[in-house]
Structure 1
């Protein structure tokens, strides 16, 4: 059963919403939806909770209050799906806000309920909700791993170490370790963080030049990008260009006319087994993808780079960054074996084997 809260000061509108819920439950022959109504701003503030599957808010409320105030409260304190249902859609939402706005008289109640249910069913709130998987994992890690080491962290604190930030990183590594063996294969969207958590230049950040359309990924070592008093440790930012996703895929597919061979060539390419100088960046809803071309290395001064590229477009997740850096390093550290006349040498070895076998007869 889905539990919803409607914050609405109009009795006529709230009664209409209740009627819709009753009708849908009758049609399903079970109580699929439960709707609680808060008729005032104060009552709405009290009833907002993470135990809900969705909150529906009117903008114009009693006593001159605005639903925007409740939205701000929810965004700052809770993790729960929200929808706005109002006759006066004057909201404070950012353009890219995930909160949907529905206008009274145009949107159907069923549409709002379905959207909230679909949002809940993604599992996002099972993972990050107030009683979600991460909260449960953190409780386990707290009691079994971190709290038993409290004397260690007391000692670190006495040494002047900023233990809160260190513990945050340490706790995240424990969560990763805990879930590594419990989740399916990665989906490609997991490779990217969008928008990037930080606007700073980081290893694995992807930038695009607005003038040239050139996309590139920063591959300078993280230690070089550390800043002190606003200055990088390095005076050059190292990047590799990203070649167009479709263009490169077509070039691999064109190697053979047989469908099975073409599929295999593409599979080898995205597995990074086709060439040593291409590294696949998957194409998905977060990023148009491409192939990092290790042969196309460019460096810029920090000032040049910021002027040319501005803020990062997307950031490759750290787990994948390490793999990219390993391949990039291997490509430039590769050293071929000195050339020999391998055919002659192979024949000599073969002849020796045959001769030895014949002598044993």
Structure 2
């Protein structure tokens, strides 16, 4: 096999042994920049066991077929072929190519990461569907993510835990549950902060808008930085109430905060129409736009200073500005009944959002000093 940057491990499932052998002989061992390593399996029950215990980058599986001499419909083993798709989706993320040399199940639904290939004319369509999945970039990203997780947690285990094991035991921190949280936290932080395309480990300096958000929200409770979308008019607002006041205590249905402080948003395009980026060239306009994308916005035309906080667009939420002069306290129940939870600001953006709000409302104006009274500071 030719050397490739990434070799993908693919589970190949076919209940007919002769067809399985033929597929292994004829399917390619590489596509584009990816090497392909095939693992054959002739039993669907065994395939599900493997999916539970092993990691695959993609799965290519047979699905029920209309076989000559048999009543048209799903046979026992073919039902298992359909079950493996729902089984994979319930256990782990793994793009799937299902193939058939007859009609497909009526219930089968294709999607960005689940494809159906027609095998009646050989492997051409299977290969085409594999290429479609590879074009998304997801199989390679998932493989690199797993490898990065192994490296991040492995290096931490070797470099830190091994060297400090005795002290961890002495401080009562060697309990498996504590160690697992420690390793998870370290790996997540390291992967989240490092640039995935840099040759050497380096922290990311410029982020994309999608990195501001956790979607869907992980917590069942509302949190600081929660973005709510009104079910009626589709407007967005952001929660300003701190986490601690929104926590629901055991045995309770609502948090101690009966009301939730929120800040309303305004569409960025509307504000930029009134205050367009300034400059005589595109480069200067982009620099001006950059200042208006700072949080808080740094533009002398937008007063009082620190009033606006920029939210980059995400999915069907447009680019927005939080307006700290437009606050509204909403009853907790109304907030949930009238709004849907859209996303939540991730760290450190949620904390920066809170800090800017606090600084805006804690500003204190001071009377100025007369520079003429201070001439002695510049006199020789």
What TM-score comes out, normalization by structure 2 length? 0.73
Residue 248 of structure 1: aligned partner:
271
Residue 204 of structure 2: aligned partner:
184
For 2:337 and 2:23, how far apart are their aligned partners in 1?
Answer: 53
Residue 8 of structure 1: aligned partner:
14
Q: Is the 8 A contact 1:50 1:80 kept in 2?
A: no
Residue 117 of structure 1: aligned partner:
134
Structure 1 residue 335 and structure 2 residue 349: aligned?
no
| Aligned pairs (5 A) from 1:1-361 | 1-9=7-15, 17-18=23-24, 21-22=27-28, 32-45=35-48, 47-48=50-51, 50-60=54-64, 63=77, 65-86=79-100, 87-90=103-106, 99-104=113-118, 108-118=125-135, 119-120=137-138, 122-127=140-145, 129=146, 132-142=147-157, 144-145=160-161, 148=166, 149-153=168-172, 164=177, 169-175=181-187, 178-179=190-191, 180=193, 182=201, 183-185=203-205, 186-228=207-249, 229-253=252-276, 255=278, 258-272=281-295, 273-274=298-299, 275-285=305-315, 287-309=317-339, 311-338=340-367, 340=368, 345-350=370-375, 352=376, 356-357=379-380
In the TM superposition, what is the alpha-carbon distance from 1:325 to its structure 2 partner?
0.7
Q: Larger % of helix: which?
A: 1
Q: Is the 8 A contact 1:206 1:217 kept in 2?
A: yes
In the TM superposition, what is the alpha-carbon distance from 1:284 to its structure 2 partner?
4.3
Instruction: Provide the secondary structure at the position in 2 that maps to 1:253.
Output: coil
Q: Is the 8 A contact 2:97 2:126 kept in 1?
A: no
Could you give the per-residue CA deviations for residues 41-92 of structure 1, whole angstroms, max 9, x where no partner exists? 2343355464543111233375353234323443455554333334424558
For 1:329 and 1:31, how far apart are their aligned partners in 2?
Answer: 50
For 2:26 and 2:314, how far apart are their aligned partners in 1?
Answer: 37
Rate the CA distance shift 1:151–1:114 in 2: closer, same or farther, 3 A: farther
Instruction: Provide the secondary structure at the position in 2 that maps to 1:227.
Output: coil
Residue 160 of structure 1: aligned partner:
none
For 1:168 and 1:114, how far apart are their aligned partners in 2?
Answer: 37
For 2:9 and 2:185, how far apart are their aligned partners in 1?
Answer: 34
Could you give the per-residue CA deviations for residues 278-305 of structure 1, whole angstroms, max 9, x where no partner exists? 1111224474331111111111110111
For 2:47 and 2:374, how far apart are their aligned partners in 1?
Answer: 86
Rate the CA distance shift 1:251–1:173 in 2: closer, same or farther, 3 A: farther
In the TM superposition, what is the alpha-carbon distance from 1:176 to its structure 2 partner?
5.0
Structure 1, gaps ≥5 residues long: 158-162
In the TM superposition, what is the alpha-carbon distance from 1:267 to its structure 2 partner?
0.8
In the TM superposition, what is the alpha-carbon distance from 1:19 to its structure 2 partner?
6.6
Rate the CA distance shift 1:151–1:139 in 2: closer, same or farther, 3 A: farther
Could you give the per-residue CA deviations for residues 254-289 of structure 1, whole angstroms, max 9, x where no partner exists? 555654443222110112323411111122447433
Single out whichever of 109-118 and 97-106 deviates more from structure 2. Answer: 97-106
Single out whichever of 294-303 and 56-65 deviates more from structure 2. Answer: 56-65
Residue 69 of structure 2: aligned partner:
none
Rate the CA distance shift 1:258–1:51 in 2: closer, same or farther, 3 A: closer
Instruction: Provide the secondary structure at the position in 2 that maps to 1:349.
Output: helix
Q: Is the 8 A contact 2:11 2:40 kept in 1?
A: yes
Structure 2, gaps ≥5 residues long: 1-6, 65-74, 195-200, 300-304
